[in-house]
Amino acid sequence: MYKKLFCVLAIAIIAAFVPVCSHATGPLDGRVIILDPGHGQGTSPAFAGYIEHVRMLVLAEKMRDILEARGATVLLTRENHIDIPLYVRPVMINKWALEAIRDQRVAQLNEQDCVAALQADIAQLNRSIAILDKILANPQVYAPVYMNTPFDTTRTRVIHPEWRRIFELQNDPLIRYNFMVVSLHSNATGTPVDTSVNGADAFFSTNCNVLNTTYFAGYSHADVTYIFADMLLDGIHNIGIRRREITPFHWMIIRETNVPAVLVENGFHTNAADRGRLQDDNFLARLAVVYADTFEQYFATITPSYHKEPTPIVTSGQYLYLEQTMHLFASTDTATRVCAIAPQAVRVVGTHSPNWVQIATWLGYKWIYLSYK
């Protein structure tokens, strides 16, 4: 009736109903990859003839072509040189993620008898999407209301309740195992410029970063994001830009969303060797292949490997993949049936016996009865 999943790497791949559909088929079918070519005209660092926003858009375009050919849906926060303000880009990412979850819930309306609960879930998603639309319509007014911008260096700001709800909605298997955001940058040393510093870095949000914890300590996807960053820096190192560090940090593009996201500095444009590579279209084509290969390796790594024979030992914190629609109960009494839950990954929060398992659902904690036949 079910197959056991492990908390960190064993996962469920839920059908991805995404905001933009790719018509290609390939190893990245069902994956949604959001590319953020950082900066834009008027805000972009430049050095010795190198302009960051120009080269990172070239890289993003090359990545998009390869990724779409492999079946992924690719979304860009910027498709030309016009600057998209930094506080707008996380809003775009959050909206794409919530729209994908909403589309999945709408599709599930035809799969189970729990229509009222699903409709309530869809209504909440619509309310959160409306807030994101309000910010996009007037970002200068509403971004500071809902988001930690300007960044509170005193570490006293608490996340807005509506923004927290958006983050909580994104703690969803569809997002965790099918989405990845990559913000593309090149690095520079401070003043005075140290041209000897070189290499690629990656940054991601975690709950252990002291600059984040007061604001929000519920980031859900740091573990899988680290896996991606680790693979990526190795791949970049192999084509000529050395690996540096993976660092928890509070950059806005990764702080203001709870979608798996990494910010990558693809080398130092203040270093002649790194800059020469980033100015070379042939090198960027090779780098785009590294990214595409990393996405394939990453998603393959976090794809579940199921046991053919289930074990009756289930513990709190594990994930179960329900292979068929199952009844939900308010208690361990079959007379308390609530509704049903469609095939999906669920988190175990308690057990009563080898058969009765309490899981987290959109209705709160409910019980399911597992059969080992």
Structural element, H or E, at residue 171: none
85 and 35, same structural domain? yes
The residues, ordered by sequence, that sit 6+ positions from 190 with a Cβ below 8 Å of its Cβ are none
323 and 284, same structural domain? no
268 and 362, same structural domain? no
More confident: 20 or 287 = 287
194 and 68, same structural domain? yes
Q: How confident is the model at residue 217 (pLDDT cuts 50, 70, 90)?
A: confident
Number of domains in the chain: 2
56 and 200, same structural domain? yes
How do strand 326-329 and strand 337-341 relate by DSSP bridges? antiparallel
How many angstroms from the chain centroid is the CA of residue 279? 29
User: What's the confidence (pLDDT) of residue 320?
Assistant: 78
Residue 308 in any domain: the answer is no
User: What's the confidence (pLDDT) of residue 192?
Assistant: 94
Residue 312 in any domain: the answer is no
Q: Which of 252, 272, 301 corresponds to the end of one domain?
A: 301
330 and 191, same structural domain? no
More confident: 71 or 111 = 71
Q: Which of 252, 274, 301 corresponds to the end of one domain?
A: 301
Q: Which of 241, 269, 301 corresponds to the end of one domain?
A: 301
More confident: 107 or 288 = 288
Looking at residue 237, what DSSP letter applies? H
265 and 134, same structural domain? yes
Residue 311 in any domain: the answer is no
Distances (CA, A) of 260 to 55, 63, 94, 221, 263: 24, 18, 11, 5, 11
Residue 176 in any domain: the answer is yes
335 and 294, same structural domain? no
Q: How confident is the model at residue 5 (pLDDT cuts 50, 70, 90)?
A: very low
100 and 35, same structural domain? yes
Nearest to 20 by CA among 100, 113, 110: 100
- pLDDT, average across residues 112-122: 81
Q: What is the pTM of this model?
A: 0.79
How do strand 319-322 and strand 345-351 relate by DSSP bridges? antiparallel
Helix axes of 161-169 and 89-108: crossing angle, nearest 10 degrees = 50
250-285 residue pLDDT tens: 899 999 999 999 999 999 999 999 999 999 999 999
**CATH code of the domain containing 355:** 2.30.30
Residue 4 in any domain: the answer is no
202 and 151, same structural domain? yes
Q: Give the tokens for residue 287.
A: 């780098």
**CATH code of the domain containing 257:** 3.40.630.40
313-352 residue pLDDT tens: 777 888 777 777 778 899 998 888 887 776 666 788 999 8
346 and 256, same structural domain? no
- pLDDT, average across residues 137-154: 95
More confident: 305 or 357 = 357
User: What length is written for the chain?
Assistant: 373
172 and 134, same structural domain? yes
User: What's the confidence (pLDDT) of residue 1?
Assistant: 39
Cα separation, 351 vs 344, in Å, equals 19
- pLDDT, average across residues 46-66: 97
Q: How confident is the model at residue 3 (pLDDT cuts 50, 70, 90)?
A: very low
Q: Which strands form 179-187's sheet, in the order they lie side by side? A: 73-76, 32-37, 179-187, 261-268, 200-204, 243-248
Residue 310 in any domain: the answer is no
User: What's the confidence (pLDDT) of residue 22?
Assistant: 43
pLDDT, the chain, mean: 86
The whole domain housing 359 covers 319-369
- pLDDT, average across residues 171-186: 94
Least confident of 25-29, 97-101, 210-214, 283-287: 210-214
Cα separation, 367 vs 356, in Å, equals 7
129-138 long-range Cβ contacts below 8 angstroms, 24+ apart: 129/95, 129/98, 129/99, 129/102, 131/162, 131/166, 132/91, 132/94, 132/95, 132/98, 132/166, 133/95, 135/88, 135/91, 136/88, 136/91, 136/92, 136/95
- pLDDT, average across residues 88-113: 90
